[in-house]
Structure 1
Amino acid sequence: MHVPDGFINAPVSAAAGVVAATAVAVSLRGARRELDQRTAPLAGLVAAFVFAVQMLNFPVAAGTSGHLLGGALAAILVGPWTGVLCIAVVLLMQGVLFADGGLTALGVNITVMGVVTVVVAYALFRGLVLLLPRTRASVTVASFVAALVSVPAAAAAFTAIYAIGGTTDVPVPKVLTAMVGVHVLIGIGEAVITTLTVGAVIAVRPDLVHGARGLTAPLRLRVGGELIDAPAPAPAPAAPARSPKKLWAAGVVTALVLAGFVSFYASASPDGLEKVAADKGIDAKAEEHATADSPLADYGVKGIEAPRLSGGLAGVIGVGATLAVGTGAFWTVRRRRAHAETGTHAESRTPADETRTEAV
């Protein structure tokens, strides 16, 4: 659903850019509360993983494909504030390095694919988790529904922006019907990918899944032929935090394999927005991307003729670049939180405390 340049006029694109910049700024502050020493590197991994999976277009209808948007997945794994930042990093790397999504439309894309998907998905996810039994299975069920709904919600958000600033005169009801219709199908694929990924992480490290914090499966005992909840065990001593290095390494390898090898077998059909734009005439005033001549444009390495090698190498470069930029950004946010906490502790100390410290 990457909106290219020329679909939306300049004033509305600029307004969307302001909305996106504001959302990113607010998310930077919110992410300080979500990121710690263990989750900061995982947030960079989530961004790289979303980048990799977005290269895997899957068929959804005759001549149409779809791909992961990733807002629901990122929000559930690392939190909504950090999730917005993850998708923003992915869209920035795609637009600048791979000419995917217009640069003047970057604000539109972040608003639609990042902010809307995260807000809708996480709000629905949290609501379902509160209603369902507090188990890991509930998290996966809620993940499926949240991811499914987030995609047509993003399609509706694009239609709203098009209604305000579209550069063509296609009737808005036709655009809405076509966009939501095809993206409901894409949402099914999004839901499956999100559920499988969240379920896989919960199976090995539930403590690292933001949306699964505080959820435990109660022990059930069969007494007299009936299942009853067992008494709650006594609190165990706090165990030292386990390192996420193994999960991080496995995630990086998975992302590299998906982008560097599996992506060659992705569907070549246009995605939902491209198909609707071509069928309805939305793309009549589409503009060429500003970086269309870049060495990595269209997910290929210029100068390498073999398609498999060119696309695979571009995917690996993209994963590496997204991982580096994302991890660097999230570590910076984490360090600012640590500095803020250190400053707060220092300010809270009294002169008596300092005198005792010096005496010791």
Structure 2
Amino acid sequence: MTKRILLLEDGTCFTGTAIGADKETVGEVVFNTGMTGYQETITDPSYCGQIITFTYPLVGNYGINRDDFESIQPVAKGIVVKEAAEFPSNWREQMSLDAFLKEKGIPGIAGIDTRKLTKMIRKEGTLKGMLASEKKDREVLLHHLKAVRLLTDQVSQVSPSKAFTSPGEGKRVVLVDYGVKSSILKELNKRHCHVTVVPHHTTAEEILSMHPDGVMLSNGPGDPKDVPEALDMIRGIQGIIPLFGICLGHQLFALANGGDTFKMKFGHRGANHPVKEIATGRVDFTAQNHGYSVTEKSLLGTDLEVTHVELNDGTIEGLAHTAFKAFTVQYHPEANPGPSDVNYLFDQFIDMMEIEREGKHRHA
């Protein structure tokens, strides 16, 4: 078995077995606490530029199938697991995790102490890391690792260059793609929406010219402050068209309305995060994947109200505009991977568009 190392920027080195593609890679090392859903996680565009550590000790046991992709070409930099199942068993399985990683050009490492690594990240915060051959000089590798700058403006790398449509006979929705998971599109299609997916740099004028019933701001990777062009667009459409934002879309909505965001120590990545709806006291378990959060104090004096909070650390998980038909959540209601407690938010979005249309007809 070929040996591979995971070298961290503080000099810590883990030695394990190479899986996936035979290549060297550098990325931000993060951890995901989900017990299942590794295929959806690896193919989620929000992991652009990151090396994903899975805290669950066995990954790949049900293989890879054709149905659970969140994007066609994954953009994660690497995968770290305690044990990679060599012989998956599932009626949908078409290939092993190792074969999939090789096919997609993603290197990985297995057989290391992922619990120790996760505890390090929780203590120190996310770290820059490198996957490389054990045979290479570690001092040389560490020097190179420290010199490499991590990706910025990842949204431009995962957003489409041209608009496209997913036809339907229901509400007409413009989905602004900052790195959208295909599950979001599936939820809209399930509700018969006619969806036009547009690039991240699409302007308010271009969106308004499509005369949509609603606009959705998608999830996506990286720092929301790397997408300043989104803010004018959001300000240009809110109050005119109902708006629903998820994850990065939630953060951009906050920035557009005078709020601020900050980089979290190690972020929320997993399928077991408890979120409380303030108005009702209802608690849902949610799937999350984000390294930035909205700063609570920054919302003072804005037209935004907090609708949801994370029970583990109190961070903001939902916002609503007090004057316009617009709401956002930090978590993922499309539920893949993870629980389906909160996909009712898509119905709430449909209802909001219906109410808005009825109101316009009454005043016509």
Question: In which range does the TM-score fall when normalised by the shorter chain?
Answer: under 0.3
Tell me: higher relative CO, structure 1 or 2? Use CA pairs within 8 A at least 6 residues apart: 1
Q: Which has the higher helix share?
A: 1
What TM-score results when the alignment is normalised by the length of structure 2?
0.24
